[in-house]
A and B are shown apart, each in its own frame.
Chain A
Amino acid sequence: MNKKILLYISLASLVVAGGCTKNFNAINTDPTQASAAQYNANLLLSSQQIEYFNGTMGYSGALLMQSMWVQVLASAEFPSYYSNGDKYVASGNLTTYDASLWLHCYNSASYAYECQSLAKTAGLSNLSGVSMIMELLDIMNVTDTYGDCPFSQALQGKNSVNLPVYDSQQDIYTSMLSKLDSVLPTLDASKPLPTNDIFPYKGSVTGWQKFGYSLMLRMAMRLTKVDPATAQKYAEKAYAGGTFGSTADDAWVTFDHNDGYNNNNTSAWQTAEDFSEVKWGQNVIAYLKANNDPRLSVIAEVPKPGSDSAAMENQMGDTVYSHQIGMPNGYDQNGGATDISKAPGYPGGTGSGKTAYPTGKYSRMAIGEYINLNTPAFAINYAETELLLAEAAVRGWNVGPSASVHYANGLTAALQSYATLSSYGTIPPATISAYVLAHPLDVSSTTNSLNQINMQYWITTGTLLDFNEAWTNWRRSGVPALTPVNYAGNFTQGTIPRRQEYPTSEASTNPANYQAAVSKLSGGDQYTGRVWWDK
Chain B
Amino acid sequence: MYLTAIRKLMPQRRRLLMAAMRVTKLIAIIVLGSGLQASAGVYSQNITFSGRDVSLEKVFSVINKQSGYLVFCDYSIIKDARKVSIHVKDASVQDVLTECLKDQSLEYEIVDKTIVIERKKETAETAAPVPPPIDIKGRVTNEKGEAVPGATVSVKGSSKVVATNDNGEFELHGVDQNATLEISSIGYEKQQVKLNGQTSLNVQLKVEAASMGELVVTALGITKEERKLTYAVTTVGGDQLSKARESNVALSLAGQVAGLTVHGANGGPGSSARILLRGMPSMNSGGSPLFIINGIPMDNTQRGASGEWGGSDNGDGISNINPDDIETMTVLKGQAASALYGTRASNGVIIITTKSAKKGQAQIEYNVNALWDRAMNNTDFQYEYGQGLEGAKPVTTTGAQNSNRFAWGSKMDGSQTIQYNGQNYAYSPFKDNIKNFYRTGPSLTNTVSIGGGGDWGNMRLSASSLDNSSIVRNSGIDRKNVDLNGTLKITSRLSSTVFVDYIDEQDRNRPQLSDGPGDPNNFQFLAPNVDERIFAPGQDAKGNEIVFSDDNYVTNPWFVVHNWINSTGRSRLITAVAPKFNFTDWLYVMARVGYDREADRIFQVTPTGTNYSFNNAGQSGQFNGLTNQTTSELNLDGIIGASHNLTKDLHLDATAGTNFRTNQYEYTQINGSQFIIPFLYTPTNVLTFGRNYSYYKKQVHSAFYSMDFSWKDMLYLSTTGRYDAYSTLAAGNRGIFVPSVSGGFNFSRFVQSTPINYGKLRAAFAQTSGEPTGGPNGTNSGAYTDAVYYGVGNAFNGTAVGTLNGASGSVENNMPVVPNLYLKPFTLTEVEVGAELKLFNSRLGIDADYFTRKTRHEIMSATLSEATGYNSTYVATGSTQNQGVEVQLTGNPVKTRTFSWNVSFNFTHVANKILHTDNANNNLTEGAYRPLNANTAFIPGMSGPQIIAYDYTYDSKNNIVVDGSGLPIRGSKLVPFGGVLPTTYGGLRNDFTFGNVNFGFLIDYNYGNKILSATSYYTIYRGLNKMTLNGRDGITTGVTASGAANTVTATAQDYYQRIASISRNSVLSGDYIKLRQVTLGYNFTQKQLGNIPVFESINVSLVGRNLWIISKKSPNIDPESNFATSVKYAGIEGTSLPSTRTYGINATFKFKK
Report if A508-B616 is in contact (Cβ < 8 Å); known contacts: A198-B797, A335-B396.
no
- What is the CB-to-nearest-CB distance from B822 to chain A, in angstroms, rounded to a whole number? 11
Q: Quick check: B616 and A372 within 8 Å, CB to CB?
A: yes
Are B398 and A271 interface neighbours, CB within 8 A? no
B543 is an interface residue with CB less than 8 A from chain A: no
A-B contact count (CB 8 A): 347
In contact, A46 and B812 (Cβ under 8 angstroms):
no
- For chain B, residues 835 to 892, give those with C-beta under 8 angstroms from any C-beta of chain A: 862-870, 873
Q: Does A95 sit at the interface, judged by CB under 8 A?
A: yes
> In the bound complex, do residue A358 and residue B811 qualify as a contact, i.e. CB atoms below 8 Å apart?
no
Interface positions of B from 734 to 749, Cβ below 8 Å from A: 734-735
A78 touches B696 (CB 8 A): no
A429 and B195 CA atoms in complex are apart in Å by 121
Chain A CB within 8 A of B88 CB: no
A437 within 8 A of B: no
Q: Which of A30, A36, A256, A333 contacts B398 (CB 8 A)?
A: A333
Q: Does B925 lie at the interface of the complex (its beta carbon under 8 Å from any beta carbon of A)?
A: yes
- Interface status of A387 (Cβ within 8 A of chain B): no
- Which B residues touch A33, using CB under 8 A? 776, 784, 789-791, 805, 807
**Residue of B whose beta carbon sits closest to that of A47:** B811
A 59-99 contacts with B by CB, 8 A: 77-81, 90, 92-93, 95-96
* Segment of A153-161, A283-291, A408-416, A438-446 in the binding face: A153-161
Q: Does the CB pair B784–A21 fall under 8 Å?
A: no
* Residues of B392-409 whose CB lies within 8 A of A: 392, 394-399, 402-403, 406
Contact with A along B811-828 (1 / 0, CB 8 A): 111111011000000000
Closest to A486 in B: B965
B867 touches A155 (CB 8 A): yes
CB contacts (< 8 Å) of B790 on chain A: these are 33-36, 38-39, 43-44
On whether the beta carbons of A335 and B865 are closer than 8 Å, the reply is no
Q: Which of B547, B614, B786, B802 contacts A111 (CB 8 A)?
A: B802
CA distance A506 to B615 in the complex (A): 35
Stretch at the interface among B67-75, B150-158, B471-479, B1053-1061: B1053-1061
- Chain A: CB-nearest residue to B659: A18
The contact string, 1 if C-beta is below 8 Å from chain B, for chain A 253-284, is: 11011111100001001111100000000000
A473 nearest CB across to chain B (Å): 25
Range of interface residues on B (Cβ < 8 Å): 35 or more
B802 touches A17 (CB 8 A): no
Whether B768 sits at the interface, judged by CB under 8 Å, is no
Q: How far is the CB of A379 from chain B (nearest CB, A)?
A: 14
CA A477 – CA B390 in complex, angstroms? 37
A489 and B1058 contact, CB distance less than 8 A: yes
Q: Which chain B residues border A326 with CB–CB below 8 Å?
A: none
Cβ contact within 8 Å between A157 and B870? yes
Known A-B contacts A353-B422, A509-B865; A313 and B783 likewise in contact (beta carbons under 8 Å):
no
**Interface flag for A493 (CB, 8 Å):** yes
Given contacts A113-B869, A162-B864, contact A493 B963 (CB under 8 A): yes
Specify which of B406, B551, B804, B867 is in contact with A150 (CB 8 Å cutoff): B867
Given A34-B791, A77-B402, A163-B865, CB of A373 within 8 Å of CB of B923? no
B690 within 8 A of A: yes
A21 and B736 alpha carbons, distance in the complex (Å)? 13
Most chain B CB within a 10 A radius of its CB, from A17, A32, A157: A157
Task: State A154–B870 Cα separation when bound (angstroms).
Answer: 10
Cβ of A164 and Cβ of B867 under 8 Å apart? yes
Tell me, in angstroms, the Cα distance from A46 to B727 when the chains sit together.
35
Answer whether residue B800 sits at the interface, using C-beta atoms and an 8 A cutoff: yes
Binds B, one of A102-110, A217-225, A396-404: A102-110
CB within 8 A of A106: which of B402, B783, B867, B920?
B867
Interface string of A359-395 (1 = CB under 8 A from B): 0000000010001110000000000000000000000
Do A21 and B804 have beta carbons less than 8 Å apart?
no
Task: Tell me whether A493 and B797 are in contact in the complex, defined as CB-CB below 8 angstroms, given that A44-B802, A106-B869, A354-B422 are known contacts.
Answer: no
Tell whether A447 is near chain B: CB-to-CB under 8 Å.
no
In-complex Cβ contact of B922 among A90, A96, A509 (8 A): A509
B422 proximity list for chain A (CB < 8 A): 353-354
Query: Considering the complex, which residues of chain A in the window 147-205 have a beta carbon less than 8 Å from any beta carbon of chain B?
Result: 149-150, 154-158, 160-164, 196-198
Residue among A32, A95, A104, A508 making CB contact with B932, cutoff 8 Å? A95
Annotate B903-931 by CB proximity to A: 1 below 8 A, 0 otherwise. Answer: 00000000000000011101101000001
A448 CB–B CB distance under 8 Å: no
A344 within 8 A of B: no
Task: Determine whether A322 belongs to the interface, using a CB cutoff of 8 Å to chain B.
Answer: no
- Interface presence of B376 (CB below 8 A): no
**Which candidate, B250-258, B697-705, B1122-1130, is the interface stretch facing chain A?**
B697-705
Residue in A21, A158, A161, A371 whose CB lies within 8 Å of B734: A21
Q: Is B581 touching A6 in the complex (CB atoms < 8 A)?
A: yes
Residues of A within 8 A of B40 (CB): none
B687 touches A334 (CB 8 A): no
- B296: interface (CB < 8 Å): no
Chain B positions 932-966 with a Cβ under 8 Å from a chain A Cβ? 932-933, 935, 937, 948, 963-965
Q: Which residues of B contact A51 (CB under 8 A)?
A: 811-812
Q: Which residues of B contact A314 (CB under 8 A)?
A: 616-618
Q: Does A292 lie at the interface of the complex (its beta carbon under 8 Å from any beta carbon of B)?
A: no
Asked if A489 meets B392 with Cβ closer than 8 Å, knowing A17-B636, A161-B868, the reply is no
Provide the residues of chain B in CB contact with A248, threshold 8 Å. none
Known pairs A111-B804, A260-B690; A35 contacts B589 (CB<8 A): no
Closest residue on chain B to residue A38 by CB atoms: B790
Judging by beta carbons under 8 Å apart, are B723 and A30 in contact? no
Given contacts A25-B731, A36-B788, contact A335 B397 (CB under 8 A): no
Interface check A20, CB cutoff 8 A = yes
**Cross-interface CB contact of B550 among A79, A257, A509, cutoff 8 Å:** A79
Inter-chain CA distance A408–B80, complex, in Å, is 142
Tell whether B425 is near chain A: CB-to-CB under 8 Å: no
| Cα–Cα distance between A273 and B401 once the two chains are bound (Å) | 12
**Contact status A14-B656, CB under 8 Å:** yes
| A17 and B963 contact, CB distance less than 8 A | no
Bound together, the chains give a CA A186 to CA B618 distance in angstroms of 50
In the assembled complex, the CB of A87 is this many whole angstroms from the nearest CB of chain B, namely: 12
Contact A21 B727 (CB under 8 A): yes
- Given contact pairs A3-B583, A107-B815, A110-B815, A335 touches B394 in the complex (Cβ within 8 A): yes
Q: Which residues of B sit under 8 angstroms from A78, Cβ to Cβ?
A: 389, 402
Which single residue of chain A is at the shortest CB-CB distance from B493? A3
With contacts A7-B583, A196-B801, A260-B688 taken as known, whether A356 is within 8 angstroms of B813 at the C-beta atoms is no
Interfacial chain A residues near B807, Cβ < 8 Å: 32-33
Q: How far does the Cβ of A313 sit from chain B's closest Cβ, in whole Å?
A: 4
30 contacts between A and B (CB under 8 A): A7-B583, A10-B589, A21-B725, A24-B726, A24-B731, A30-B777, A30-B784, A31-B695, A33-B776, A34-B790, A35-B790, A39-B802, A44-B790, A50-B801, A78-B402, A79-B406, A92-B1021, A106-B815, A109-B869, A114-B804, A114-B816, A158-B819, A160-B818, A163-B865, A270-B616, A314-B616, A335-B399, A356-B398, A505-B866, A507-B974
Closest CB pairs A-B (n = 7): A43-B802, A157-B868, A110-B869, A313-B616, A33-B789, A157-B870, A155-B869
Q: Which residues of B contact A (CB under 8 A)?
A: 389-390, 392, 394-399, 402-403, 406, 421-422, 547, 550-552, 581, 583, 587, 589, 611-612, 614-618, 636, 638, 640, 656-660, 687-690, 693-699, 701-703, 723, 725-729, 731, 734-735, 776-777, 783-784, 786-797, 799-805, 807, 810-816, 818-819, 862-870, 873, 918-920, 922-923, 925, 931-933, 935, 937, 948, 963-965, 967, 972-974, 1021, 1051, 1053-1054, 1057-1058, 1061
Interface set of A (CB-CB < 8 Å, partner B): 3, 6-7, 10-11, 13-15, 17-21, 24-25, 27-36, 38-40, 43-44, 46-47, 50-51, 54, 77-81, 90, 92-93, 95-96, 102-104, 106-107, 109-111, 113-114, 149-150, 154-158, 160-164, 196-198, 253-254, 256-261, 266, 269-273, 312-314, 333-336, 353-354, 356, 358, 367, 371-373, 488-490, 493, 503-511, 518, 524-525
